[in-house]
Amino acid sequence: MRFIDMHLHTTASDGSCSPSEVCQLAIDKGLAAIAITDHDTIDGVSEAISYAKHHNASLPSEVVPNTKENGSAFSSSGDRHITVVPGIEMSAIYHGVEIHILGFYMDYTDPELISRLAAIKQARYDRNEAMCARFRADGIDMTMERLQHGNLDTVVTRAHFARILIADGICRDMNQAFKKYLGKKSKYYIPTPDIPADEAIELINTYGKAAFVAHPLLYGFGYKQIEEMLEELKTCGLAGLEVYHSSNNSYESGKLREIARAHGLLISGGSDFHGAAKPDISVGSGRGGLRITEAVFHDIKNYCQK
């Protein structure tokens, strides 16, 4: 039996490993499939797919399957072959609450998609600049140059702010940084200019194949509220729910699996790997021995092929 990880972050957003490094970590674990799902960007996808194609080409010919030219998916799996799914994690607003929507099989070369994401990225940049100004007003050296750390394409999130606060000795860890400086009640916090959830799903379905609500238990909703959200978003084109996640225990994952099935939704799962920002989360195994079987990936792939 082989396993998958459908929720991974790279240096294209707030991960600490490059797309190639993330791909190699997945190969080292023997994973059958992964999805690169950076925040509001597809910039890391091409590198990961190219890296996987190089790896697959180096395998003995009898285990290398026929792949599409873009190398991303819709192929049978050889014993050691890894499939990289072009994905994204969109930040969105649902009834005033920020939620995240995963998109799978995104057309990462589409000029219109690239343009729409660039506009979202610019709005985030402006917000981050404004947050930097608030920190500097209090004598804390926070600049976009430091946040981007030499990578101008990085999608800066609050995790980037936290890393600087820790590096400068202002905070001892991520929890303190978020609680004291980056939480919604902090004087430095400015809301992210997110799009409505229905628009995020529309964007994913226009330029991709399937939209999934990510880690639903992180939004402060009870199970009844989650079900109400799913029913509402299904009318907008929602395809599935991320049932398995590093933040869930086995009971919670089981409950979410029941809910997904009751509402006719596909299930997915992933570690939400970020590298150094979440050092207790590993590619493919998450936190606490998370395992997602290849069958979950095949159900998603079959849906997206229709």
294's enclosing H/E stretch is helix 294-305
Structural domains of the chain, with CATH: 4-113+194-305 (3.20.20.140)
Better-predicted residue by pLDDT, 157 or 90? 90
* pLDDT of res. 192: 83
- Going by C-alpha positions, the residue among 72, 69, 91 that lies closest to residue 81 is 72
* pLDDT of res. 32: 97
- What confidence category does residue 298 fall into, taking pLDDT thresholds of 50, 70 and 90? very high
- What confidence category does residue 281 fall into, taking pLDDT thresholds of 50, 70 and 90? very high
What is the CB-side half-sphere exposure of residue 202 using CA atoms within 13 A?
7
Mean pLDDT throughout 27-43? 96
Mean pLDDT throughout 124-150? 94
113-122: long-range contacts at Cβ-Cβ below 8 A with a sequence spacing of 24 or more? 113/42, 113/203, 113/206, 113/207, 114/42, 116/203, 117/40, 117/41, 117/42, 120/40, 120/193, 120/195, 121/40, 121/41, 121/155
pLDDT tens-digit map of 214-271: 999 999 999 999 999 999 999 999 999 999 999 999 999 999 999 999 999 999 999 9
* pLDDT of res. 306: 84
Mean pLDDT throughout 178-186? 94
Report the percentage of the chain scoring pLDDT > 90. Answer: 83
pLDDT tens-digit map of 185-204: 999 999 888 899 999 999 99
